[in-house]
A and B are shown apart, each in its own frame.
Chain A
Amino acid sequence: MGRTLTFKIFRYNPNKDNDSPQVESYQMEETQRLNVFTALNTLRETQASDLMFDFVCRAGICGSCGMMINGRPTLACRTLTSDLPETIELYPLPFFKLLGDLSVDTGIWFREMAEKVESWIHTQEEFDPQATEERMDNDIANKIYEAERCIECGCCLAGCATVQVYPDFLGAAGLNRIGRLMNDPRDQRGDQEWFELVSTESGVFGCIGMMACDDVCPKDLPLLEVFSYIRRKLSKIELSK
């Protein structure tokens, strides 16, 4: 306690005439139990009323506040200043379109991803309001939930080398979604359909294996396993042809 923190924050407002990207410094006394969510709001209320950043739930579940904190993509709401040095550098996530300062456009990217992977259950069966639900093994439900925990914060893409050079790559978030659907017995897509979806270079073979996604994922999703699972599944399909 008793530290004076220096926040070095990337500032740029594309909607402001003649604005150019720069880093501004702000100083602030560190208070008890301070996290980057509280700190940024205090800065906005007291020193930089125009500072742009995104928070929604501030409880690590909505995925809005991904940003680069001292060079690492992570969620600002669950980053405590006491775990950081006195100088804290904040940059927007790379890869996504910059909206201003620390705010980036993740919504459009994730919507397009959902369209590309057709992120819904593919089934011919109509819902029957009078019928009892289809049974499902609780273990399968839990397994699906494990992959469904992705909060689309974009940290995996910000840390990904492949998307920087090949923007069509689906990234860990996209492949995790596919893995989640592959595991769901309700999705009736066949081997060939999965094969076409993930066997391209925008799919699982685009990954060059550096696995920063697995390192930085704030939800600790087992992304390494997701990639191996999809690769194994593809090999099986290919071999059985």
Chain B
Amino acid sequence: MSKIITTDVLVIGAGLAGERAAIASASKGLNVIILSLVPPRRSHSSAAQGGMQASLGNSAKGKGDNPTIHWLDTVKGSDWGADQEVVRIFADNAPIAMREMAHYGVPWNRVEGGPRDVYIKGKKTTIVEDDEKEGLITARDFGGTAKWRTCYTADGTGHTVLYTMDNLVVQHGITVHDRMEAIRLIHHDGKCLGAVVRSLRDGEIMAYMSKSTVIATGGYGRIYGESTNAIINEGSGSWLALQTGVVPLANMEAVQFHPTGIVPTDILVTEGCRGDGGLLLDVDEYRFMPDYEPEKQELASRDVVSRRMKEHMLKGKGVQSPYGEHLWLDLRHLGEEHLKTKLREVYDICMHFIGVNPIKEFIPVRPTQHYSMGGIRVNKDGHAYNMEGLFALGEVSCWDLHGFNRLGGNSLAETVVAGMVVGEKIAKYASKASLVADVGLAEEFTKTEKDKIARLFNNRNGENVYKLRNEIASLLTTHVHIFRFGEGLEKAVDCLKNIVKRTENVQVKTKVLGMNPELSSALRLEGMAKQALLIAEGALRRTESRGAHSREDYPDRDDANWLSRTLARWPDPKEDPIFTYEPVGVLDLPPGDRGYGGGQQISIKETIEEYNTNVDIVQKAEGRLDPSEPTGSRLPKERWKEVQ
């Protein structure tokens, strides 16, 4: 018999989203256990430097900001792929979440009244901060927004907010079991009853039974191998949902890339490098961007630059290295003073992590996977489709705040806002639900996992886990990256289907239980391969370009056929996955031009009213559970006209 642990609420993942949701339940007197692969403060949330968007409107350049303008920026930024009601819930609650975190100890940077010098698009400008706002939470500028609204604490926003949040977790006495990995959900008849969990300390397999189960495990970036994500972001949370066969993963093809990750290690260096005059060079030290984008050159938008870099490397112009292909970023001409002051962070990263001195040397860079917009499809309460008692929030979910393109500062804010909003719904659900501690069922699910481990140990002449993982990464990096083309995608889909089969025959050489990193990777491999296939096939099927999903062979955004959200399920593990589509949600802002990114638009066929009538019907048919309030109830009509 395996050990069984019971609790009211089981939260999988101890980053910002998971911890905030846990606190919401604990404050209602519910029992909560948080599981985490690592000690909570090591979660990937801690690595976010930039900040959180909230329309507080305290800084001079944020004057007049309000949730409607924030909403408008986000809907446009999503290329109309987001659920506009969810964006509204988010934008309305973001200021409250920032103030709440201030109350609990985050040292947000504050407004200092009077004039100060700032650099706007490389030019020195003086702005005058309002004396009356002195001491209130200030904001910095992030791309794609009409106002400065990104709240921050110096260069460590994720870190300070996570530390404050984890202090609250300690204060509430919430149990955290770290170095634990949920490997399968326990469910029956469309109801989630907990999870099978493997200890990463001693290898023990146990069952956790709960009323509400919450997945908050972050993104799946590491499936790409080269990713700015922490190395634990291997999609293990979204895999839990996919494994059920009934819960869909949505918009898996919507993946954001960043043009300048350094090689090796894939740490980001800021886009400010290009803004300040950095040049991109190829293997011949030739500056190639003007050939592709004569006008904007290196200063074209993030996705355009990334795409051109990838295209140029596919032409054989990349620099070969033991860590794969890359290009060069040349900052030498900016001079020592500039690099050691205005770009100090870039200078430090290069010196400390790859030993490159940007004053004298080129920096090796390549476009790198950065953020996953897609994930576990949930309704506006964070409740998963087709699975009562299962919730998801943060990057692992597709709530759907970001649609096909996420704005900087919105994802970190999403963690605490969803934690607050969805956290309430989780608590409410758990307060009413009763615990089903079905011992037989727990034993059945744990046994399947134990048998799987035994099989991985016993396979003879099987596949090497690290090699297979690298093959998956290489396929995605070559064909399902920012430069997408039908032919390449077809190839990736074929190869990945084959790899999915090969994962059954993985052989783990290290036959100890315990931490066993090889076994841990092997257990994640099927999920990585299958999600890679969903990304590739989703991208192949979507014959348009929208936000970060950019098809060279279909450059237009096609609202007539693709103003929809991809849903992918895997009912039979031995068969192919099933793809369906649903409307993105109730439309208030009609589809239009987002003002950047290029491409034409093909107009929507029906009227907005007709489109909106369909939302509830189709989403329900796809398994959406009824939210606590009717669809569209939180979306005030045409408020955006007041701010246009």
Contacts and interface: CB of A to CB of B under 8 A. Distances in A.
Partners in one complex: yes
Interface of A: 13-16, 31-35, 37-38, 44-45, 49-52, 54-64, 77-78, 80, 82-83, 99-100, 103, 105-108, 110-111, 114-115, 118-121, 123, 125, 127, 129, 131-138, 140-142, 144-145, 148-149, 151-152, 184, 186-187
Contact of B110 (A57, A141, A187): A141
B237 to A, nearest CB: 15
Contact of A58 (B99, B167, B231): B231
Centre residue among B42, B322, B514 by max chain A CB count within 10 A: B42
A82 B135 CA distance: 46
Contacts of A106: 39
Nearest to A112: B170
A80 B517 contact: no
Contacts of A133: 98-99, 102-103, 136-137
Nearest to B229: A57
Nearest to B178: A107
9 contacts: A13-B514, A14-B514, A38-B265, A45-B466, A54-B38, A62-B43, A99-B201, A114-B170, A121-B103
A118 B108 CA distance: 21
Contact of A136 (B44, B110, B364): B110
B356 A120 contact: no
B509 A62 contact: no
Interface in B137-185: 137-138, 153-154, 156, 159-160, 163, 166-168, 170-171, 176, 178-179
B623 interface: no
A115 B46 CA distance: 20
Interface residues on B, range: 35 or more
Contacts of A114: 166-167, 170
Prevailing SS type, chain A contact patch: loop
Contacts of B39: 106-107, 110-111, 152
B44 A57 contact: yes
Contacts of A129: 96, 99-100
B232 interface: yes
Given A59-B353, A107-B38, A121-B104, 14 more contacts: A13-B514, A16-B514, A50-B512, A58-B267, A61-B159, A62-B41, A83-B355, A111-B176, A134-B103, A138-B110, A145-B156, A149-B159, A152-B39, A184-B107
Interface string B316-349: 0000011100000000000000000000000001
Contacts of A186: 103, 105
Given A13-B512, A56-B38, A120 B105 contact: yes
Contact of B353 (A32, A35, A138, A187): A35
B354 A135 contact: no
A51 B354 CA distance: 23
Contacts of B267: 58-59
B449 interface: no
B179 A107 contact: yes
A27 to B, nearest CB: 16
A134 to B, nearest CB: 7
Interface in B353-405: 353-356, 364
Interface string B106-123: 011111100000000000
A103 B42 CA distance: 14
A145 B154 contact: yes
Given A15-B202, A63-B41, A78-B353, A58 B102 contact: no
A55 B231 contact: yes
B500 to A, nearest CB: 21
Given A63-B41, A120-B167, A141 B104 contact: no
Please give me the 4 A-B residue pairs with the lowest Cβ-Cβ distance, nearest first. Answer: A107-B39, A135-B135, A15-B514, A50-B510
Given A54-B38, A107-B39, A16 B265 contact: no
Contacts of B38: 54, 56, 62, 64, 107
Nearest to A113: B170
Contacts of B323: 31, 38
Given A55-B231, A78-B353, A107-B39, A31 B322 contact: yes
Nearest to B14: A107
Contacts of B486: none
A144 B513 CA distance: 43
Contacts of B203: 15
Contacts of A118: 171
A144 B108 CA distance: 10
Given A38-B264, A133-B137, A56 B153 contact: no
Given A13-B514, A50-B516, A61-B156, A137 B230 contact: no
B443 interface: no
A140 B513 CA distance: 49
B609 to A, nearest CB: 35
Contacts of A58: 230-231, 265, 267
Contacts of A184: 105, 107
Interface in B194-236: 201-203, 230-232
Centre residue among B44, B156, B354, B364 by max chain A CB count within 10 A: B354
A120 B352 contact: no
B99 to A, nearest CB: 4
Given A62-B46, A138-B112, A80 B264 contact: no
Nearest to A83: B355
Contact of B515 (A61, A103, A119, A125): A103
B558 interface: no
A137 B110 contact: yes
Contacts of A51: 517
A106 to B, nearest CB: 6
Contacts of B42: 56-57, 62-64, 107
A55 B267 CA distance: 14
